[in-house]
Structure 1
């Protein structure tokens, strides 16, 4: 297979495949269920100009009437190879995410191989071998976990060593005009590299302190797990305001696409630093060890099931925050600030009264694409943030039961710390998780877990916070982490969700309204536009001022709103002032949080 990327500036890939075949009916698949996306989100609508030929003759084909990811054709007699040519129109990939997923700019191309491959049905993906190659624009550089075979780029094919289809799809290529590589494991027997591409050279200006943090991340993860499952690892980072933000895990690399200033702006880096730890942790949790229901024979014939995503993603999200702190990206105080934000977010999800955390994982393939409106009532992929609370509860319980002798670090070494150097996936079930926890510390872990996973409650599971020595509280002043995330990581002004009960954009568009909250009771709904607050033209500051003054105000907060061309004034009866989450130290309890984020010693 060869992917011509020389038209990347026009957001077009041109693909040629040669497939060994035998005469008779043939079905080809385009990948549908994509690892890491947890959904049938293969971008089949990007494919155009599809042509099949053999011995110079074009062949007829037809798409399956039930499954549009399957193509049927008949291979003529005496034909043993099929040529497949097509274009991938990657300007905007429609994944049902609103503005789509943009993966190319005039100076950058991020290639996911699942975008550019057809493969024969009836074979396990691990049994199909590909000889991949790419052609890049002149003067472009690239990075990938694939091993280069021959070629140097510059409008000449770069051929990679043969790999299975599984390995191919698991090994993206980032490329661009402006490139920088940093060695994150100097002198180590197993190399780890940070490979960055950007739209402008200035965006690659990573600091020595940040480099040290990335190096410490590698050290801390390897110390905690005790093994590694890659021959080399590439942290692939794209820095651009013209490419959709993304974080996607792979076994020997990760693919993070961040804003252009993610490394050079201190607040942006603070807000997003845990994402690097999240995707790196996935090399162990999700790639080496994977839920049995997510390990399918190919990318089409068997749907992936998300029932254990609270481990796959939830535990990874917990370790992301912990490792960001152990690596030095965050201080312990900033870790607690981030944890307070997670706890407050989940404590304002009334949808948990009808939908369990387990159900959010079971329905993950659809919840990735739900709109923001009424998200606190319909719920979304809450197994990410609520997984932080679930695994904090487990970690502190291990410490409590063992009188501080064992922790989740011991679970990490037992559950992931085998087969050093092997990249062969091991699957697991719920029972395997329970057995590993019992091996670390005997307890009725099955009941403990099911109580959290199946609960219908009014509040988030905050037992781990309390056991860790802290309580969730609110103050009138935002934390450093809050300000960083609101200004660089969040699309809405969340100041009002924990007070008057809604999220609103800077232009006044209402994103979400807290179900049965003060604004809900006043009649506010998502999609409305707030044009004035207490007779002042709307701005985030005007809203904050009104909420701050609400404690001494005689009258409700007046919101002039526009709804489909109609204007009305809503009166929000709220008197509590501004509310920003924080953690306060509990009396007479051990401070497990500081212990949890302490770096692992050799």
Structure 2
């Protein structure tokens, strides 16, 4: 493939004439035609030099009814001639090439008041080629970012009550420069009376237009905004060494009503993070929290902030809404793990350079571990709730039969392969298992350290040595697998490389549950769900028969998952089918549970009538082991290391 210099007009002409007969000449009878040469303007190589001038990025976010963000971007230029602009493709925290370029519309570029034609690169469709005309000192790009208006179109980022500005969705940037060397100054026009939270620092305000201090492109994309009509900010570290704030926006003002105890729990989160790491790698930190069932869900990490979507009843339904309890602790943990210290193969020069995900079992897996641990230490979860959650995780991955053909390490490629699309056979295909199976591996590491040092040291010592150094440093500090192993050996000598690779690359059978046993607990099953699972699944409208017949249903008796190799799988059930009757009666979750219990009598089968499209089938299950729900059971006579892990740190 060759890439020659070519004007936008010349490229358009080439594309129109690329099927010229001469290009299809054959060498002889029956020979295939030669491949057509591809000639495109070059995309400049990335150089670590400053881009001249400051790009102005002005966003009008007032068209709430149509969910349209209008964008004007003014880009200074130092020379005329060919120029390439990128739309960000590889998005941090998403771990894949998922920049929503289809939501970019209306792109029109001008210079000196005259239109400048652009041509999209056909090999790299996130790149736009232009020719800057003589005499131009800047170009102006006008465009729209079209937020989805319905969930089927993608994640909704604007509603009548709130919005979420993610800068990477509404800008182009010059190719050929490191992101940290491109400076932008953003401004936003918000609806009158709205307030906002962001890690950006305000500079001036003119009516409804807020202008922020200039930052480099990496910091800008790492600093989204939540804004809304119903807004509340809570100081989570009063008198602390650097501000930590929770910025809430809500569908309804009533959702913002938090008790003193709930606020203290959020403050405990900050305290426990400080006690874990010691150092802070931010001069301020802003939780951005949408209490909504209208704005699209999100949990996304940033260095000085995080984007979080929780149930509108996060505060007002505290006892009955558990699904979001470890979200804030997970995302804040990323300020240390993933943002300040980040995998070396994710430390790339710009947002159109491919990421590699080989260390996501650290980046996300260890964060999943500490997200749950800090949730328990701070009181976001009780110790029992954290243990019940861990039991559910252990059971899920202990029965993840897809490990027979696909090692957990390979699931770090899933954000690129699957791009977070739904799967029909999750237990066989596997998904982003580096999160929660990674959690089990880090429990294994933690309890091993505690065992080998008779409780004198733990994974917390690794965390402080690896992430809690260089207090006040904000520049990213990349790491490799060898760095992780060396830091673990700095805590306690062990063959950590083999320890980790065995668990990352192995095929089972079963999940790595040694950490549970070493922690003083074992996975077992009971005929009733734990209080935590019962409350959580009521909130999620989920009915779980995974460990008995092998399926889950939703509130309408539609099958939501089928465990590969289970009785349900062998009977031919699949996602999307509907259970209409059980043992001759109209189906509901209680009826299915009662039938499974009754079938403990070997003479009693479970009989389901299932609707598959316009077809009905009757299925009989010869299953007699009753209902099974995961629990943790204490191993008598062993140290309760897991209990110690979940106990709040006092210093």
Aligning the two structures, in what range does the TM-score lie when normalised by the shorter sequence?
over 0.9
- Shift in alpha-carbon separation, 1:35–1:377, aligned structure 2, 3 A: same
SS, match of residue 500 in structure 1: coil
1:492 aligns with 2:531: no
Question: How far apart are the structure 2 equivalents of 1:367 and 1:504?
Answer: 24
What secondary structure does 2:231 align onto?
A: strand
| 1:61 is the counterpart of 2:118 | yes
Deviation at 1:533, TM superposition (A): 1.3
Deviation at 1:423, TM superposition (A): 1.1
Residue 169 of structure 1 is matched in structure 2 by: 221
Q: Check whether the contact 1:270–1:329 (CA below 8 A) recurs between aligned residues.
A: no
**Corresponding residue SS for 1:526:** coil
Deviation at 1:526, TM superposition (A): 2.1
User: For residues 309 and 133 of structure 2, what CA distance do their matches in structure 1 show?
Assistant: 44
Corresponding residue SS for 1:131? strand
Whole-angstrom CA distance in 1 between matches of 2:429 and 2:149 = 28
1:14 to 49, 70, 83: 70
Q: How far apart are residue 508 of structure 1 and its match?
A: 2.1
Q: Residues 458-477 of structure 1: matches in 2 within 5 Å? A: 458-477=509-528
- Aligned position for 1:276: 328
User: For residues 458-481 of structure 1, what are the alpha-carbon distances to aligned partners after superposition, in whole Å with 9 as ceiling and x for unaligned?
Assistant: 211110000000000111121121
Alignment of 1:203-602 (within 5 A): 203-300=255-352, 302-488=353-539, 490=540, 492-493=542-543, 495-552=544-601, 554-602=603-651
CA offsets 1:548-595 (integer angstroms, 9 cap, x no match)? 222125232111112231111111221111111110000221100111
Mind listing any 5+ residue stretches in structure 2 that lack a counterpart?
Answer: 1-56
Which residue of structure 2 aligns with residue 2 of structure 1? 58
CA apart distance, 1:262: 2.1
Alignment partner, residue 172 of structure 2: 118
What SS does the aligned partner of 2:599 have? helix
- Contact kept, 8 Å, 2:76 with 2:138, in 1: the verdict is yes
SS at match of 2:475: coil
- The aligned residue for residue 181 of structure 2 is 127
The counterpart of 1:108, out of the listed 154, 158, 162, is: 162
Question: 1:93 and 1:359, CA in 2 relative to 1: closer, same or farther beyond 3 A?
Answer: farther
Deviates more, 1:526-535 or 1:134-143: 526-535
Q: Is the 8 A contact 1:286 1:312 kept in 2?
A: yes
Distance 1:91 1:250 in 2: 23
Which one has the largest radius of gyration? 2
| TM-aligned CA deviation for residue 229 of structure 1 | 0.5
TM-score for both structures, normalised by structure 2: 0.89
Change in Cα spacing, 1:157 to 1:256, as seen in structure 2 (3 Å) is same
Contact between 2:552 and 2:561, CA under 8 Å: does it hold in 1? Answer: yes
Q: Cα deviations across residues 307-326 of structure 1 (Å, max 9, x unaligned)?
A: 11000000000001100011
Q: Give the aligned partner of residue 150 of structure 1.
A: 204
Local SS of the residue matching 1:595: helix
RMSD, aligned CA: 1.4
Counterpart contact for 2:311–2:321, Cα < 8 Å: no
Check the 8 A contact 2:148/2:154 in 1, yes or no. Answer: no
How many angstroms does 1:368 deviate by? 4.2
Question: In the superposition, relative to structure 1, how do residues 268 and 47 fare at CA in structure 2: closer, same or farther (>3 Å)?
Answer: farther
2:96 matches 1:39: yes
Could you list the runs of 5+ residues in structure 1 that have no partner in the other structure? none
Alignment-derived partner of residue 212 in structure 2: 160
**1:83 and 2:140 correspond:** yes
Encode CA deviations 1:386-410: one digit per residue, 9 max, x unaligned: 1110000000000011111110000
Deviation (angstroms), 1:92: 4.8
Contact conserved, 1:357 with 1:453, CA < 8 A, in 2? yes
Judge which range, 464-473 or 323-332, deviates more: 323-332
Deviates more, 1:525-534 or 1:392-401: 525-534
Looking at structure 2, the residues matched to 491 and 59 of structure 1 have their Cα atoms a distance apart, in angstroms, of: 53
Distance 2:423 2:296 in 1: 18
Taking the aligned partners of 2:112 and 2:402, their CA distance within structure 1 comes to 59
CA distance in 2, matches of 1:542, 1:517: 20
Shift of 1:516: 1.1
Displacement of 1:130:
0.2
Distance 1:92 1:453, change over 3 A: farther
**CA drift at 1:369:** 2.2
* Alpha-carbon offset, residue 430 of structure 1: 0.4
Distance 1:93 1:24, change over 3 A: farther
**Aligned-residue offset at 1:250:** 0.4
Shift of 1:491: 5.6
Q: Is the 8 A contact 1:107 1:177 kept in 2?
A: yes
TM-score, normalised via structure 1 length: 0.97
Deviates more, 1:500-509 or 1:156-165: 500-509
